[in-house]
Structure 1
Amino acid sequence: MFQRIRSYCLSGIHAIPVSVEVDSSLGLPGFTLVGLPDSAVRESRERVVSAVRASGYSVTGTRTTVNLSPADLRKEGSSLDLPLAIGMLLASGEFEVNQIDRFVFLGELSLDGLLKPVRGVLSVAMSLVEEKDSVLVVPKDNIQEASLVEGLNVLGVSSLLECIEELKKDCSSLLIRSQGFSSHLKKNHPSYPDFKNIIGMEGVKRALEIAASGNHNFLLVGSPGSGKTLCAKCLPSILPEMTEDEIIESTRIHSCAKSIHSQNFSFIAERPFRSPHHSSTMVSLVGGGHQLLPGEVSLAHNGVLFLDELPEFNRQVLEALREPMEEGSVCIHRASGSIEWPARFMMGAAMNPCPCGYSMDLKKECTCLPDMKVRYWSKISGPLLDRIDLQISVPAMDITRLKSTSGLESSATIKKRVKVARTFQEDRFKNSKILYNSEMTSLQTREEAKMDSEAEHFAITAAEKMCLSARGYYRVLKVARTIADLRSSKNVEKLDLAEAFQYRLLK
């Protein structure tokens, strides 16, 4: 008997329809699986047979052929266990279901028949949003994730046996119709540090306010203990709240990466702040590996990727960031195909000015030789440094100022100004795919960074004296445009340019 079961596989954050075609016939007992399965899918036979036996059924004694269609798409992961088991049971006549084409099955089986959660359920649910009559059958641990899509019929089951029993009675007891995004969203208290807890450092706070307003990349350089990392960790507290589309997109990425624990599922409702260790490999940072999983650049999508101790990272790893920083995505190519992951993030970094760390300290003497400093800075390539809009000097804190707590601005106050600047950008780019000033092309930068002849002369003269590249010059103009937005001004003035140029004086 022939049976076709619907399921899905992942390609990046996208869900690709897969048909599990099962043919059970008389003949020498055997099992053949075709359709480009990976090792996890090939091993599913042993899991499925054991789970079926534990559920009180049997699929042995027949010749079974399984085709995973389309045959030219490589099938990865263990989410095809459940559709394979259902298909084998139906093909062997163990039970019958009306309108089996309505159902889409996802789930990994354990040997005792229990269902384990799988990754990427949200992407599958979004692919079924137009099919109002379809029923998505998932493990119970994935039911919250699946029910994020409004109007979708979701059936959560804990075991293969429970799934069979529900199918027999047309899913009358456990079937739910999801209420969608808003029913799951909860207002959480901010989990990031507040700028009001940082005494002094007004210049650094101002620079980070500009970075947050225009989504500009930044580099903090200062002595050990000067507060570089603390300031960076406060940055998400002044970023605007994520939109519904951003929340869904970020949650899809984390779901595909399985960085969300299904047993305690929650939205990625706050701007991600990813801070990988400096020993991170290229695969962990950019993505890839055997399963082509997203890396830190994609997990930081719509948020901040912060690289502390920047020169300690492998140089090849840092160089791999150049394309994602420009394109807002990362494309991973393999012989079997390619996958594109979203990677629109703000790149932040922190480092000491020299190996000993004290060349910028007014009280401690630097012990580094000149060639040591050259080697230290050479770990960061010119092209990478050129892509960092704000290069910020972080002075060491005067201990006597730690007693003063007056006049400290909270993150909420700074956030209001950031929102004003972002509103200007939303209106400016409402007819394009661009979201922030930092993403403007050179042509758009010339059009939007309007200035008078005096300001233009100042910009060209300063760029020539600083030997800036064309990219560096346009990045200065983008920062100046953001500074003007913070003033709610349509034109870029000379003072805006002067402030923007000072963030390129570090090296």
Structure 2
Amino acid sequence: MVLGRTLGVALVGLTGHVVEVEAHLAPSLPAFTLVGLPDASLAESRDRVRAAVTSSGLAWPNRRITVNLSPATLPKSGSGFDLAIAVATLAGAEAIDPAAPRGVVHLGELGLDGRLRPVRGVLPAVAAAVAAGWCRVVVAEANAAEARLVPGARVVGAASLAQVAAGYGATVDVPEVAPVSPEAVPRHPGRSALDLADVVGQDDARACLEVAAAGGHHLLMVGPPGTGKTMLAARLPGLLPDLSEADAVEVTAVHSVAGAFDPGDGLLRRPPFEDPHHTATPASVVGGGSGVPRPGAASRAHRGVLFLDEAPEFSTAVLQTLRQPLEHGELVLHRAAGTARYPARFQLVLAANPCPCGLAVGKGLACTCRSEQRRRYFGKLSGPLLDRVDLQVELSPARAGAGAGESTAVVAGRVLDARAAQAHRLAGTPWRTNGDVPGSWLRERLGPDRALVADLDRAVDRGTLSLRGVDRVLRVAWTVADLAGRSAPSRADVGHALLLRTRGHGA
């Protein structure tokens, strides 16, 4: 009796764990038992595998089959183990060469007709296998392009179980079947193609957007409808530099697990842009679901922009759950089936009307809201959340005849120069932009002259600025200096940063 062995990968969040799939065939009453903490969709693989094997023209062994997924203490989920279970079973029955599939990673879902179907999360799964030293990978043909994005992986794409079995020496006719097409990924308009020159007027808001892009700062825009808040937010990704190689792999892995990645376009090189509707649930924004949680919009916006239009209309639960990723750059989701960690280091952009009816008070527009309605509406954006937003700007309706401003290409050039200055200053540290740097590190480099931060001290004494707010103002001040080509911020830069944070109410 031979023990069939091969390999699969279990994903918990973005972390892949190589799993040994063992099949033991005993001379007893026919049965099929799957052990090793499988979830419901994985437990159903017994029926899929049995049907796929017989449909492929292979004999199903009439024995007591026990398949173990080791380590047994690690929860396994999804249909991606189907192919590995089928191959291990055939190896245990000696229908294929038992030694051939050992050390090979198999990822794929089986249809009842034996065809191989693509699964989510192939990129991080293959990356984990290669990192663990297992470079030979067999996947569905529709996943082959994605798997080949991992350096060092030796990938074989297959359309059916019969094709895989024949490759391992099985005597079986390989039918000509069309590979299963991958799930269609909705295509959104390219945010990088949107030009900042399309925004008429709004010089202050454009300058604020440039500072946000240069330093990786979070941004709040307040103004009546039609002032360009959404247009500005949609053009922020175009100002950001391309993703580095490591970031591109990480961002692509998140989108692969979420099922929002088209491998035909290669790695995602541009910062992503996510704009969930204000009716979105906490699970859709921060991630969730039964079993092992899936990434939400916040994780899909990793290294890019998360835009909440009509921010006060979002539920309080959604807004409060954003505080963890804003502070730590990752989301930790706890469920009964396990804990998943997803990266979520994004730039948050909030857009809000000044009141529920959307008409600004004191600007000649007929606001119909009572004072308590306005307080309750804007009160949805809690103090702890706004304290983490570095930049706040008020937009007014553009004047007639206002001309177009600079193009995205011109502003992006200045942003790239400012990012280069930050990279030089932060070399050897774990931070990349001013928006990531702790205030203590920045204060040490300001020198002993307290006159530089006198405006901040007065704002703290008046209660218009918290100590966390002081650190965030200093971050913005360094960004303002970087855009101006200065090696350190001046008192004017600190004052400018204070105005950008408090909408002019805290100076």
CA deviation string 1:209-258 (max 9, x = no partner): 00011110000100011110001101111111111111111001111112
Match for 2:472: what amino acid? R
1:297-446 pair list within 5 angstroms? 297-360=298-361, 362-398=363-399, 400-401=400-401, 404-405=403-404, 408-446=405-443
Report the counterpart of residue 88 of structure 1 in structure 2. 89
Structure 1 residue 450, shift from structure 2 partner: 4.8
1:107 aligns with 2:104: no
1:219 aligns with 2:216: no
2: CA distance between counterparts of 1:132 and 1:475? 43
CA deviation string 1:142-187 (max 9, x = no partner): 1111111223211000110111122229xxxxxxxxxxxxxxxxxx
Residues 449, 478 of structure 1: 8 Å contact kept: no
Q: Helix, strand or coil for the counterpart of 1:333?
A: strand
**Residues 212, 493 of structure 1: alpha-carbon distance in 2 compared, 3 angstrom cutoff:** same
Structure 2 gap segments, 5+ residues each: 171-188
Q: Helix, strand or coil for the counterpart of 2:102?
A: helix
Match for 2:410: what amino acid? T
**Residues 233, 190 of structure 1: alpha-carbon distance in 2 compared, 3 angstrom cutoff:** closer
Report the counterpart of residue 241 of structure 1 in structure 2. 242
Q: Helix, strand or coil for the counterpart of 1:504?
A: helix
Residues 5, 20 of structure 2: 8 Å contact kept: yes
Report the counterpart of residue 150 of structure 1 in structure 2. 151
1: CA distance between counterparts of 2:455 and 2:43? 66
Q: Helix, strand or coil for the counterpart of 1:350?
A: strand
2: CA distance between counterparts of 1:463 and 1:12? 41
**Residues 190, 311 of structure 1: alpha-carbon distance in 2 compared, 3 angstrom cutoff:** closer
| One of 475, 495, 499 as aligned partner of 2:496 | 499
CA deviation string 1:101-131 (max 9, x = no partner): 2311110001101111111211122224357
1: CA distance between counterparts of 2:378 and 2:231? 23
Structure 1 residue 60, shift from structure 2 partner: 4.2
Report the counterpart of residue 269 of structure 1 in structure 2. 269
1: CA distance between counterparts of 2:447 and 2:420? 18
1: CA distance between counterparts of 2:62 and 2:28? 8
Report the counterpart of residue 79 of structure 2 in structure 1. 78
Question: Aligned-pair RMSD on alpha carbons?
Answer: 2.1
1: CA distance between counterparts of 2:383 and 2:39? 42
Q: Which moved more, 1:38-47 or 1:252-261?
A: 252-261
**Residues 395, 448 of structure 1: alpha-carbon distance in 2 compared, 3 angstrom cutoff:** farther
Report the counterpart of residue 61 of structure 1 in structure 2. 62
How many residues align? The count is 486
* Identity percentage of aligned residues: 40
CA deviation string 1:319-341 (max 9, x = no partner): 01001100001111223431211
2: CA distance between counterparts of 1:16 and 1:361? 60
Match for 2:273: what amino acid? F
Match for 2:252: what amino acid? T
Q: Helix, strand or coil for the counterpart of 1:357?
A: coil
Q: Which moved more, 1:95-104 or 1:146-155?
A: 95-104
Structure 1 residue 493, shift from structure 2 partner: 1.1
Q: Helix, strand or coil for the counterpart of 1:503?
A: helix
Residues 282, 321 of structure 2: 8 Å contact kept: yes
1: CA distance between counterparts of 2:339 and 2:464? 39
1:439-478 pair list within 5 angstroms? 439-450=436-447, 452-465=449-462, 467-478=464-475
Match for 1:492: what amino acid? P
Residues 28, 62 of structure 1: 8 Å contact kept: yes
Structure 1 residue 449, shift from structure 2 partner: 4.2
Report the counterpart of residue 183 of structure 1 in structure 2. none
Report the counterpart of residue 165 of structure 1 in structure 2. 166
Structure 1 gap segments, 5+ residues each: 170-187
**Residues 289, 42 of structure 1: alpha-carbon distance in 2 compared, 3 angstrom cutoff:** same
Report the counterpart of residue 173 of structure 1 in structure 2. none
Match for 1:151: what amino acid? G
Q: Helix, strand or coil for the counterpart of 1:344?
A: coil
**Residues 386, 190 of structure 1: alpha-carbon distance in 2 compared, 3 angstrom cutoff:** closer
Q: Which moved more, 1:216-225 or 1:371-380?
A: 371-380
TM-score under structure 1 normalisation? Answer: 0.92
Match for 1:371: what amino acid? E
Match for 2:309: what amino acid? D
